[in-house]
Amino acid sequence: MIYIIITVIAFLIFFIIINLLRKLHWDVVHQNLLALTEEIGGQVVRKNMLGRPILKTKYKNLNMTVNFSSERSKKGRQNYIDISMECPTKGSFTISSLDWIREQNAGSAEDFVLIESEGKKKYGIRDQPDSKSLLQTHGGKISDILHRLDPFLFIYAGANGILFEKAGGNLAISTRHPGIKKILDVLIDLSRIIK
């Protein structure tokens, strides 16, 4: 009987410590986003103490949301920074890290046209209806955008705007100001190229 009680107490202590660490982590991210809102405006929303903060802002006349996601993988828990931006675009396209496509088993990268950032990181671009049209029109500018965002997982631009995702690593560090703001500024530059 004593062993059962000790096991239950140990489990409760472990549960409390894990949730306390999780709360502290999201508290730091929350503070980082609040520092960003002091410069660009917006509101940080959090559903509960253990919840992930979400930044909603209108920056340079574009509605944007900064959110976070995570998943378990063979490498452990991975955190991601997800940014959505409402802006009109012509057509649609996807730019993805070729390494990420292969890791996700998200299908073949053969239907993507290869493009390198100025830092020589390889990405694939696929747009509708012709993967070469965006590159022929804006290839140098797109390469510069990729270099400034590098590394990231994907950018999707469509009728409703732009979705962007990158690995977040330690979010308490990667969300420090002005890190997120730099990404927002580059995505705005991208939106001006493709509108």
Comparing CA positions, the residue from 22, 23, 28, 63 lying closest to residue 43 is 63
Q: What is the mean pLDDT of the chain?
A: 84
Q: 17-26, 104-113, 137-146: which has the minimum mean pLDDT?
A: 104-113
pLDDT of 89 reads 76
Comparing CA positions, the residue from 147, 171, 175 lying closest to residue 25 is 171
* Amino acid making up residue 27: D
pLDDT of 95 reads 87
pLDDT of 136 reads 62
Instruction: State the residue for tokens 């472990």.
Output: 14
pLDDT of 108 reads 60
Q: What are the contacts of 159-162 at 24+ separation with CB within 8 A?
A: 159/89, 159/92, 160/86, 161/84, 161/85, 161/86, 161/87, 161/88, 161/89, 162/83, 162/84, 162/85, 162/87, 162/89, 162/187, 162/190, 162/191
Write the pLDDT tens digit of every residue in 8-40: 888 889 888 888 888 888 899 999 999 999 999
| pLDDT > 50? residue 168 | yes
CB neighbour list of residue 183: distance below 8 Å, 6 or more residues apart: 81, 83, 149, 164, 166
If pLDDT is split at 50, 70 and 90, which confidence band does 155 have?
A: very high
If pLDDT is split at 50, 70 and 90, which confidence band does 116 have?
A: low
- Mean pLDDT for the stretch of residues 56-84: 90
Q: Where are the domains of the chain?
A: 2-194
CB neighbour list of residue 75: distance below 8 Å, 6 or more residues apart: none
pLDDT of 139 reads 62
Two tokens at 38? 């002091």
Q: What is the pTM of this model?
A: 0.83
Torsion of CA 72, 68, 181, 87, to 10 degrees: 120
pLDDT of 131 reads 45
